[in-house]
Structure 1
Amino acid sequence: MRTDSAVATRAPTPVGRRIIFYAALCVLAIPFVMPTWWMVTSSFKPISEIFAYPPTLWPQETTLQAYRDAFTLQPFVRQYFNSVYIAMIVTVGTMLISSMAGYAFARIRFPGQNALFLVVLLGLLIPSEVTIVPLFQMFNSWGMVDTHWPLILATTFGAPSVLATFIMRQFFITLPVELEEAARLDGLGRWRIWWYIAMPLARSALAAVAIFTFQHVWNLYLEPTVFLQSPEMFTLPQALTRYTDAYGGQMWNVQLAAASMTVLPVLAIFVLAQRQFIEGLAQTGLKG
């Protein structure tokens, strides 16, 4: 017969350990969830309630005026479209370029291969602030200032492509050599092997590249500020700073409303591709 002390010291059941584990995760998630919660809920508050003390976790007086102002004070729909299509073009372009470069560095042997790959990786060490002035002079001489071409070209061939090339190379290294040998016996060349065999197998790595690149382009601020001048050409990060009143003060409720709408595409892409994203990081050696 078991004593009371033995029952009290009994180890938790698997279900109990799982409950404790999820409870601990919920507590640890609070510092990460609270800023987003405050941003979204404050976008429905009057500006006086945003700065109320003590702060409220839920609007006492719900209003949609900030969302209406976000669309009336600026061409927000056009700016939203600008960010979406620029991010999509750069993401697709980066996926194609990085997959070709990564495949070449991983599967094709040529003189100076490792040295050239090291030179490519050095691009990660160059801050964008160092190259922004010569880039502006170059695109200005081509008549591309106040267009979206500088953002598309400079970003597609910039730091995101370097990181993406590294991710794709690490993935293609793990592919069995027998796949290429079998493809060559079937008469496939390098291009067809890359497109018909390597690319379908690299969906998880491509998902990681897509999320990294889309998030980077979506959050660009320095480059749009330098290259764009017309409000109709602005992207969202640049547009968020332009919600000011007649005295130059920040319209915090309108900025929070616009920021809440800004995070939706990145959140949606991560939710839809999170499994492939995690698999891609695990297979390319970037897991923590």
Structure 2
Amino acid sequence: MSRKLSPRAKLVLYGVMLVLCVPFVFPTWWMASSSLKPVSEVFAFPPSLLPANPTASAYEKVFELQPFGQQYFNSMYIAVVVTLGTLVVSSMAGYAFARIRFRGQNVLFLVVLTGLLIPSEVTIVPLFQMFNDWGMIDTHWPLILVPVLGAPSVLATFIMRQFFIALPGELEEAARMDGLGRFAIYWRIALPLARPALAAVAIFTFLHSWNLFLEPIVYLTTPDMFTLPQALTQYVDAYGGPMWNVQLAAASLTAFPVLAVFVFAQRQFVEGLAHTGLK
């Protein structure tokens, strides 16, 4: 049986945890507070935790200098579509690799896993040429098709496979006795049981799509088509220098919704990884 900590031990433990949190919490706090400061106060030393004269002018300029609302919508709907598409593809592929026996199964899965070893920078040029031939440059199709059907979905497939392998075979045998086919077993039995793994896949897929930077720079050229990571680089003055308070305001608007989602969904994320046997 685990021994309960004394009040003094709890106090020490919480104090150590608070100290360890400082390197992680302070940059986010500084970003948010500096977005309310004038440029002259952003780099004051020592840095202040709160703005001396808070102003929201930087947030107004975020929407004046760029179509930030449209760019926010672009990132949101792309991330949602990519997440849903990845859930469908990875769950079906993971179930097939885990529960369906066929010749060359392990070899094919090993080939799929090699997608984790290929950096996106290696494939970006041939993918650009392919999408250019299809007339999809300066559209959102490359940002949707590549993550759903390409190497980024390999990790999701691996997680789903690990989860489906752990399911008892008696469930499928009972389902077959009830007259269910292969797809019905996947849809009505395996998929509902895979909610923890689906939650983990959904969270890291959404975050990956939301923070995608290289691909939008390569495929998109029109400001109205930009996603948020690409839009953040556009807040510069007439001399090409960064507008720090405006960039920090845009970064705060970009980061906080995702941070809130992760804080509220972190339990499902941890449980999903634990159920797949990942460490």
Q: 1:4: which partner in 2?
A: none
* Residues 1:271 and 2:263 aligned together: yes
- The gaps in structure 1 that reach 5 residues or longer are 1-11
What is the CA distance between 1:151 and its match in structure 2?
A: 0.7
* Residues 1:56 and 2:48 aligned together: yes
Residue pairs, 1:124-135, within 5 angstroms: 124-135=116-127
Q: 1:177: which partner in 2?
A: 169
Give the length in aligned residue pairs: 277
Taking structure 1 as the reference length, the TM-score comes to 0.94
CA–CA distance in structure 1, aligned partners of residues 260 and 85 of structure 2: 20
Q: 1:161: which partner in 2?
A: 153
Q: 1:43: which partner in 2?
A: 35
What is the CA distance between 1:247 and its match in structure 2?
A: 1.1
User: Residue 85 of structure 1 aligns to which amino acid in structure 2?
Assistant: Y
Taking structure 2 as the reference length, the TM-score comes to 0.97
What is the CA distance between 1:267 and its match in structure 2?
A: 1.5
Deviations 1:236-281 (A, max 9, x none): 0000000011111100100000000101232132123222111111
**The one of 19, 26, 49 aligned to 1:34:** 26
CA–CA distance in structure 2, aligned partners of residues 61 and 265 of structure 1: 26
Q: 2:238: which partner in 1?
A: 246
* Range 124-133 or range 15-24, more displaced: 15-24
Q: 2:16: which partner in 1?
A: 24
CA–CA distance in structure 1, aligned partners of residues 221 and 45 of structure 2: 39
Same amino acid, percent of matched pairs: 71
- The gaps in structure 2 that reach 5 residues or longer are none
Deviations 1:33-92 (A, max 9, x none): 111111111001101000112211111110000000001100000000000000000000
CA–CA distance in structure 2, aligned partners of residues 186 and 16 of structure 1: 59
Deviations 1:8-29 (A, max 9, x none): xxxx952322222222111111
CA–CA distance in structure 1, aligned partners of residues 6 and 185 of structure 2: 47
Q: 2:198: which partner in 1?
A: 206
Deviations 1:183-238 (A, max 9, x none): 11111111111111111111110111011111111111110000000000000000
* Range 235-244 or range 193-202, more displaced: 193-202
CA–CA distance in structure 1, aligned partners of residues 87 and 16 of structure 2: 37
CA–CA distance in structure 2, aligned partners of residues 241 and 153 of structure 1: 24
User: Residue 38 of structure 2 aligns to which amino acid in structure 1?
Assistant: P
User: Residue 144 of structure 1 aligns to which amino acid in structure 2?
Assistant: M
Higher Rg: 1
Q: 1:91: which partner in 2?
A: 83
User: Residue 46 of structure 2 aligns to which amino acid in structure 1?
Assistant: P
CA–CA distance in structure 2, aligned partners of residues 165 and 181 of structure 1: 24
User: Residue 12 of structure 2 aligns to which amino acid in structure 1?
Assistant: I
* Range 100-109 or range 157-166, more displaced: 157-166
Q: 2:215: which partner in 1?
A: 223
SS of 1:237's equivalent in the other structure is helix
Deviations 1:118-159 (A, max 9, x none): 100000110111111111111111111000001100111123
Q: 1:196: which partner in 2?
A: 188
CA–CA distance in structure 1, aligned partners of residues 106 and 240 of structure 2: 53
Residue pairs, 1:54-133, within 5 angstroms: 54-133=46-125
CA–CA distance in structure 2, aligned partners of residues 140 and 250 of structure 1: 32
